[in-house]
Amino acid sequence: MVSSQRRGASTVGCLLWLLFVVAAVYYGVNIGEVYVRYYRLQEELDSQARLASAIDNGTIGRRIAAAVDDIGVPDSASNVTITRSTDPRQINIETAYSERVTLPFFDHTFTFHLKATEPL
Helix (H, G, I), strand (E, B) or coil at 9: helix
Residues belonging to the chain = 120
Question: What is the domain partition of the chain in residue ranges?
Answer: 10-119
Most distant CA atoms of the chain, gap in Å = 91
Q: What predicted TM-score, i.e. pTM, was given to this entire model?
A: 0.84
pLDDT tens, position by position, 10-53: 787 889 999 999 999 999 999 999 999 999 999 999 999 999 99
Residue 97 CA to residue 117 CA, distance in Å, equals: 18
pLDDT for the residue numbered 47: 96
pLDDT for residue 38: 98
Confidence class for position 7, pLDDT limits 50, 70, 90: low
How far, in Å, are 18, 35, 51, 77, 109 from residue 112 at the CA level?
33, 10, 23, 9, 10
E strands, the chain, where? 81-86, 89-103, 106-119
Q: What is the pLDDT of residue 62?
A: 96
In the sheet with 106-119, reading across from the earlier edge strand, the strands are 81-86, 89-103, 106-119
β pairing state of 81-86 and 89-103: antiparallel
Residue 10: the pLDDT is: 72
> For residue range 90-117, what is the model confidence (pLDDT) as tens digits?
999 999 999 999 999 999 999 999 999 9
Residue 72 has what pLDDT? 95
